[in-house]
Amino acid sequence: MSDCCIPRENLASGYDLAVVGAGSAGFSAAITAAEQGARVALIGHGTIGGTCVNVGCVPSKTMIRAAEALHGANAARRFPGLVGEAHVADWKQLVAAKDDLVGTLRQRKYIDLLPEYSGVAYLEGSVRFNGGGLLVNGGAVGADKIVIATGSSPALPDIPGIGDVPYLTSTTALELTDLPRSLLVIGGGYIGCELAQMFARAGTEVTLVTRSRLVPGAEPEISGALTGFLRDEGVVVRTGLTYRRIAGTDDGVVLTVETKGEKETIRAQHVLLTTGRTPNTRDLGLTGAGIELTPEGGVSVDDRMRTTRAGAYAAGDVTGRDQFVYMAAYGAKLAALNALNGDSLVYDNSAMPWVVFTDPQIAGAGLTEAAAREAGYETKISIVPLDQVPRALAARDTRGLIKLVADAKTDRLLGGQILAPEGADSIQTLVLALKHEMTATALGATIFPYLTTVEGLKLAAQSFGKDVTKLSCCAG
């Protein structure tokens, strides 16, 4: 047990709630319960803080921002009369700065918080359910209710030979102290796209391969546009592939793929696997304790965050759904409140925002066009390219588009996605519109500030009924 993690002496050995996992979800559950006056055992194993602060959101996004700074300088020539240039002068120093940021946030947002909650005891060690209760390092921990929040880990793709080659994950790739000469990224989800672009902008030769298309959860128009933008920056993007085998070479790795019956090989110094994440349920003894798992290995929960064992709840990545840190914290808060107060709160992700931190960024909320049709809606759509948004014209960067989906019968907005350099900071407006069941007409009539990216949502809403190319500035 580390110095930061000494249980409060005034706590009894029995707890109202035991929270297994000390990442964002675990801390959310523990703090919520403590604020309810509960006695809480927060149980961690490994580095405190979990995925987001240590190896996920924080380190990746600061490195992505650094790469954006490089690209921004080199792209300055899009403005007449400007020439810019930037390059990586010291990769080790950049990585060290990333590590310093991670350490600072871990200290401030996790370790330093523990003394602020006298009702929380931090226990550190391996956890196992023994059927009748909870064991930490082999010792019993008594708790009336339990929240499982053990997170997830990078998943290995089913490629013959993968276990015999040295590979990088989203964690270890950000620990490299030498910038790779070349990098093969396997997996076209948000992590693969973000890191492929980041390394390419830093000077690495990058090939990104995927079985389907980039960001499969995005609208096809947005996925296709992003593919083109990455290729414009020099990333080799290969989609619709079948992986046949991967093997090591004297200077890296070689992947054999097949497309339309034709085999070929792709070589690189390093391979980075970004093919999803696996819930951390192994070795916990969950099934023996009556806690059912999904076919993908996540803890099965209902809409109240309850598992199949009475008194046991789960939240966050360990459930295998909505793997975003803010949804983990939200679900864990509900789990703790339900555990203590009677299961009245329902998990609602109908207006959940999500973001891909490529450049341009992708952000979305609500239903896609395909999902809306599958749900039985008669849909209508609006697509506005960014060259119709004054902010993009002023910035001389019109990469992107906005797509909205609405119910054709009622005009109620059902969902939408944004592909824009500042798209992430605009999506919350759509979230609120969905949450309050606004119509496209109402959104189009709402006042928006001029020369902002979010104004594009107004234009997209207006374009359901009019040609926005024929509007003057601020018209409508």
Alpha-carbon separation of residue 449 from 238, 259, 393, 458 (angstroms): 40, 48, 15, 10
Residues 6 or more apart whose Cβ sits within 8 Å of residue 144: 14, 15, 16, 17, 311
269 CA to centre of own chain? 27
The answer to whether the annotation marks 72 as part of a ligand binding site is no
Residues 89, 92, 94, 100: is their CA dihedral positive or negative?
negative
* 152 annotated binding-site participant: yes
Q: Is 188 annotated as a binding residue?
A: yes
Q: Based on the number of CB atoms within 10 Å of its own CB, is 143 exposed (0-12), middle (13-18) or buried (19 or more)?
A: buried
Q: Is 193 assigned to a binding site?
A: yes
Question: Torsions phi, psi of 397, nearest 5?
Answer: -145, 90
349 phi/psi in degrees, rounded to 5: -115, 20
Confirm whether residue 192 is marked as ligand binding.
Answer: yes
* Residue pair 212/239 in contact by the 8 Å Cβ criterion: yes
Query: Exposed, middle or buried, 12 (CB in 10 Å: 0-12/13-18/19+)?
Result: exposed
Is 426 annotated as ligand-binding? no
317 is in an annotated binding site: yes
* Cα separation values, 378 from 236, 410, 421, 470, Å: 38, 10, 31, 28
Q: Is 276 within any annotated ligand binding site?
A: yes
Helices (H), 36-169: 50-55, 57-74, 91-109
Q: Is 150 annotated as a binding residue?
A: yes
Residue with tokens 């601020």: 474
CA distance linking residue 92 with residue 170, whole number of Å? 18
473 is in an annotated binding site: no
Instruction: Confirm or deny that 64 is annotated as ligand binding.
Output: no
Asked if residue 444 belongs to a known ligand binding site, the reply is no
Segments of 139-190 assigned E as strands? 139-148, 152-154, 182-186
Pairing of strands 152-154, 277-279: antiparallel
Judge whether 298 is annotated as a binding position: no
Is 119 annotated to bind a ligand? Reply is: no
Q: Binding site membership for FAD: which residues?
A: 61, 150-152, 317
For the annotated binding site for NAD(+), the residues are 187-194, 276
List, as residue ranges, the binding site. 61, 150-152, 187-194, 276, 317
